[in-house]
Amino acid sequence: MKNYLIIIVIAIIVTGLFIYVNLYHEDNTAPIYIKNTKADTPVEIVALTEGQTCEEMYDSIENDLDNANYCDQDSDCDAILLGGRYMEFGCYHYINKNIDQSSILQNMYIYDEKCDEMINDCDLALEAQCVSGECVEVEQG
């Protein structure tokens, strides 16, 4: 009888470990699903100040553009067209359609007045689609 009790206790411990490992252990061979955490936090475009260096302004704008690029579906995506005065930031960036583009453009204007020396050489932005929580251009086939 004592042996059966020991076997039952061991079986319960092994079963518990099996359940724990299967529920809480990371499986490196399993596919990784990325949750779009950007959509959970409102994107705030902070106005630049004249006291910032050109590098600080540029980094702030790039950070805003990165944070503004989030989506859950294709219809969330839009393109902010740049080029011209704002060529230093690229010809266009894909962002969420609910982002206030004028705030980003205002910051680029402040940066341009103090720092920019680029020349325009841009094509039009291609259609955007939502892939892994970010807006990207549609591959032309």
Domain ranges of the chain: 38-137
Ordered DSSP codes for 49-79: -TTS-HHHHHHHHHHHHHHH---SSGGGEEE
pTM for the model: 0.59
pLDDT string in tens for the chain (141-residue length): 677 777 777 778 767 665 655 555 444 444 333 445 566 666 788 888 878 999 999 999 999 999 999 999 999 999 998 877 777 788 889 999 999 899 999 999 888 888 866 555 566 778 888 989 898 888 776
